Amino acid sequence: MSKMVELPDPPGDIITSLKLSPVYPNHLLATSIDGQIKLYDIRANTSLQVLNSTHGGILDSCFLVDSNRSFIGNSDGIISELDFINETCNKKIGKPHTNGIKSLISIDQNSLISGSWDKTFQKIDLRSPQVSEIYDLPGKVFAMDSSQDKNKIVIAMSKRLIHIYDPRFIDKPLQVRESGLRYQTRSIKCMPDNQGFVIASIEGKVAVEYFDLSNEVQSKKYAFKCHRSKDQTNTNIEQEIVSSVNSLCFGKENELFTGGSDCNVYLWNYHTKKRSRAFAFDKSVVYMNFNEKYNSLIIGCSDDSYKAIPYTSAGSKHSDSKIYIQSF
């Protein structure tokens, strides 16, 4: 039976990541833009620990592959390792970026990849965490992911650019592409079968793309509109309200979840190209993750109304974020 619960003690500010421990699948790491880090037990529906970053707002986090080691990337370009036993997050990893770290991913038990707004990405060998290589990019990193088999890294940037890398030869991209979407990328996720990736943008649109460059495979790629509604304020003119697609998440089999600033989550079969379910919330959906062990979707909702309010209203208090667990 489908069931939804709300986690207690949610972050006060905008949620920037929701990551699951590979070792303890009931442990959820949540970060927010105000520098807060929260660890939850989603099975017991309890908050376990709270840490606070001293290096600015947190933009992303990640767990190391097959490990309980966890890391955060900050708005001031610092990567830090979290230490919940000693309740600290001050251990710096790798070299600092000159701008915020938008994305962190792990590709194996020894490696961490950071992507930044400073138009670079960095590969860190955690066996020698102060020794790392930084590589230039043609645009700011907006989103990043790795394939399930860890054989490919996909980086989505400004100027609609997409680079695909082989982690073994990371100094040069395997492929350089232009996004099939016309506007800024918000999220990118690699398919569970390692065949391609899905990308979402601020224009209420999602594109399904494939790694194989043969004409036969490329003919399968497509894009679809979502998170759009009719404007009810003007009945004389037929207009659409287009909302940003902020988060993508794969479920089981052919399931794809999309979450948007229209406060909705939609469930799609991305092979048949059909929508099957919808879930409505009272705030923008800013981040999602799927827990395979417990067959549940984790939804982070935050008040991002600041994006649309007049400048004169800047500084007005936003409402607290919320985290929901939707079990199937």
- How far CA 324 is from CA of 7, 264, 268, 304, 312, in Å, comes to 6, 13, 19, 17, 33
Q: Which residues pair with 205 in a beta bridge?
A: 201, 225
Is 231's pLDDT higher than 80?
Answer: no
For 251-297, what is each residue's pLDDT tens digit?
998 999 999 999 999 999 999 999 999 999 999 999 999 999 999 99
Q: How far apart are CA 297 and CA 82, in angstroms?
A: 25
Are 37 and 89 contacting, i.e. CB atoms less than 8 angstroms apart? yes
Is 199's pLDDT higher than 90?
Answer: yes
Q: How far apart are CA 55 and CA 33, in angstroms?
A: 11
Is 97's pLDDT higher than 50?
Answer: yes
Is 309's pLDDT higher than 80?
Answer: no
Is 169's pLDDT higher than 90?
Answer: yes
For 114-127, what is each residue's pLDDT tens digit?
999 999 999 999 99
Q: How far apart are CA 80 and CA 72, in angstroms?
A: 5
One-letter identity of residue 99: N
CATH of 3-307+318-327, one of 3.40.50.720, 3.50.50.60, 2.130.10.10, 1.10.8.60: 2.130.10.10
User: In the chain, where are the structural domains located?
Assistant: 3-307+318-327
